[in-house]
Amino acid sequence: MSRIERLFARKSPVFIGFTVAGDPDRERSFGVAAAMVDAGVDLLEIAVPYSDPVADGPVIERAHVRALRAGTTPDDVFTLVRRVREYAPGLPVVLFTYYNIVYRRGPDRFFSEAAAAGADGVLIVDLPAEESEEVGPSSLRYGIDRIALIAPTTSPERRRRTLRDASGFVYLISLEGVTGERDRLPPIAGLVDAVRRETDLPLAVGFGVSRPEHVRSVVDAGADGVIVGSALVRIVEEHMGDEAGMHEALRTAIRALKGGLAPDSGVEG
């Protein structure tokens, strides 16, 4: 059983935290990840910095820019994954990337190095289901889960095609648009129910989730996990000159957000 399977097998809601490798720079990036681990993230999603992150809103886009300006390369990302794996041996780690990075490196080399570093899954944001055979053999060869991405606008036919090759868990996008903090989330129970009928894989909801009440509403909608990105990346941006304050703010935010996972949290959905 993989680390991702073991995590979701516990049958309690999972909190997934997101960070961009190399943000705010290559060395301090590990401190960000370690602070998130210390605060209790159940799974860590690490983005490979990319020059054109079309799925991301301004907060995460700026993080990509900072990481690239710091000189972060895919080799640095794998080094970060190795450090996280040493720091938290049982923690599942998923790489969030765009296909050009995988293509330039070569799918077999990319998945081989990801596995050697200790990654458990890869989410390729912009790879259409029709072209997924480009990475399928390498994913299977190295035991890396291919995380499926499904949006509210994904048709039932495309959902079935996307889910056919998926493993690990399914990333459900809560809204139409890019990543970023929102005041309110749209109703997502319908999407959760529809995908639940089509797969046995766990379902985690992201995009726009930034408050404890959002976390609570995602859990109440029947999701198995919740993904928070921009709200955490913003903390890094706001504490660039105060590393200790950055780590403390991350820990405080994650603990507050995780409070929304508890059925008796008192958070209004």
DSSP secondary structure, 205-255, as one string: EESS--SHHHHHHHHHTT-SEEEE-HHHHHHHHHTTT-HHHHHHHHHHHHH
Q: Which candidate in 25, 38, 42, 45 is catalytic?
A: 45
**pLDDT category of residue 269 using cuts at 50, 70 and 90:** very low
Q: Does 14-261 carry CATH code 3.10.129.10?
A: no
Q: Is 45 annotated in the active site?
A: yes
Average pLDDT over residues 168-174: 93
Percentage of the chain beyond pLDDT 70 is 93
pLDDT at 66 over 50: yes
Q: What is the residue extent of each domain of the chain? A: 14-261
Annotated active-site residue 243? The verdict is no
Contact 153, 31 (CB under 8 A): no
Q: Looking at the predicted structure, is the pLDDT value of residue 121 above 60?
A: yes
pLDDT in tens, 71-118: 999 999 999 999 999 999 999 999 999 999 999 999 999 999 999 999
Token pair recorded at residue 237: 């941006």
What residues form DSSP beta bridges with 70?
Answer: none
Catalytic one of 23, 56, 61, 120:
56
Mean pLDDT computed over 36-43: 98
Q: For the whole model, what pTM was predicted?
A: 0.94
Residue-averaged pLDDT of the chain: 92
